[in-house]
Structure 1
């Protein structure tokens, strides 16, 4: 039997060992199960997140597990274990509970009685958004309404931060900063749009916020001349020309897909396709493998970014199929498996290989996202 590094048996490992191994060959599901099994070697039952990665990375790891469980029910025991345990103990890992902590109101504008969303808030609004999406993912595969209510509560905290010096809208990066960055606002869009498709009786409320965010976002200078999204805005609200990170090209795709599902509009998917194609042109090599501009040294955060791009590209591929997206997904997954895997079955940051830098739960879970996307691509 397989035990975690902390001496506890990981649920469903027998199923994982039977269906996934280091010799999974060309079976996308077996590869993804094997990657999950390896990732769980980092999971810390006492902290509720994965050793060697940070607070927000933990939310991303959980989201990836939820995505695989939605595609492969054989891993549901492991997914439920992670969700339940992280929900219970995860707040102890919150590194910096921030000034945005307050009573969170949900649904009928009443204080939440079953969840305390403030436990999941730290001093960065983007981190809050990652956790909201993670709990939405957990809700999607378990239908446990407590998880959805937690995501609603986190979103209400984000709503209270609305309004910057750039056009009077959007969110700043954190409660003590005036920096207006792309990822925070893309996450706000995506969380609102996801909730619009899931919360009974409040669809229009969330649609309105998602549309308000997107209208504001497109009126600002986030998108550069080549169609990719830069990191954020200067104090004068002009594009700061900072790094074209892959996750800034990704989260917006999922947000637009969900918004188009909630409130169909003939501009949302074309806008998403334009961003996706520009990102691939900028970030993919000649073999259609996505790279981050920081490679091979992308710590502490950049190691997570590419998986988020592929996760959201997968959502766009489902809603608006394109041969290019399928090629990128499959090429990334195949190169990760064949060229970017060490003897322990762990993945590094350079998806084209070889492994030349630190391997940890962040680099591994990011690559794991690509393997999950390849499972989805094999189903269509």
Structure 2
């Protein structure tokens, strides 16, 4: 997806060539273990999860938007339906991380990550934009509001501290797609409020005004060393809030 953004920004074919090479490899991860879906990695083909599937939907939909190849749209729809069928709570729209991680066929119900909510609602939003089917937008809205109800602190709407390393980036990815949803649905005032409240807290309590560093908790001052994933997450929040403030 980063390479595709680079291609769209520059028009350089080398970026597009890399995207298309990677896309062919990504598609090869589809197999029929547990009803289909893309495998998480090549040495564990029967482990399926949202991080492997929902971003692939976004990529496929954006490729379709650019080049209008029906095959790309068909892949996006196929992967999305698998992800929704197997890893989304049909009652609430909450998105689970994965299934069969330990080889026992079980879903990791206790893994509740902001990242999974973000990429799934982002996938629904891309499909809505490319098909006009309002059901995808409804899916995205439902997951967004369930995420707020389930993962935000009910007293102040702050998103959780998910730790360091890769999880340190999770909230920023959620914010990226919440901002896109707000821009598509301007009346989504509660989603906008969550973004702005978190950004305000980061700016006032977490962000060191001299060093400009962020913490895994957007309510606390950072402790050195600060990892790049955590820093990126905080800056994605501020960038998203700035975008909404201009509209």
Using structure 2 for the length normalisation, give the TM-score.
0.90
Instruction: Please point out which of 233, 240, 246 is paired with 1:373.
Output: 240
Query: Is structure 2 residue 222 aligned with structure 1 residue 355?
Result: yes
Contact 2:213 2:222 in 1 (8 A): no
Give the distance between the partners of 2:58 and 2:93, measured in 1 at CA.
20
Pairwise CA distance, 1:185: 0.8
The equivalent of 2:177 in structure 1 is 312
Against the structure 1 CA distance between its residues 238 and 369, is the aligned structure 2 distance closer, same or farther, given a 3 Å change threshold? Answer: same
Q: Which runs of 4+ in 1 moved over 4 A?
A: 235-238
Give the distance between the partners of 1:176 and 1:228, measured in 2 at CA.
28
Query: Is structure 2 residue 1 aligned with structure 1 residue 173?
Result: no
Q: How does 1:15-30 map to 2 (within 5 A)?
A: none
Pairwise CA distance, 1:304: 0.8
Q: How does 1:245-324 map to 2 (within 5 A)?
A: 245-285=113-153, 286-292=155-161, 294=162, 298-321=163-186, 322-324=188-190
Query: Is structure 2 residue 80 aligned with structure 1 residue 214?
Result: yes
Against the structure 1 CA distance between its residues 359 and 310, is the aligned structure 2 distance closer, same or farther, given a 3 Å change threshold? Answer: same
Q: Which has the larger radius of gyration?
A: 1
Q: Extract unaligned runs of 5+ from structure 1.
A: 1-132
What secondary structure is seen at the aligned counterpart in 1 of 2:239?
A: helix
Q: How does 1:11-90 map to 2 (within 5 A)?
A: none
The alignment's C-alpha RMSD in Å is: 1.9
Give the distance between the partners of 1:329 and 1:231, measured in 2 at CA.
23
The equivalent of 2:14 in structure 1 is 146
The structure with more helix, counted as a fraction of residues: 2
Pairwise CA distance, 1:259: 1.4
Using structure 1 for the length normalisation, give the TM-score.
0.60
Aligned length: 241
Contact 1:291 1:350 in 2 (8 A): yes
Contact 2:87 2:97 in 1 (8 A): no
The equivalent of 2:200 in structure 1 is 334
> Relative contact order (alpha carbons < 8 A, sep ≥ 6): 1 or 2 greater?
1
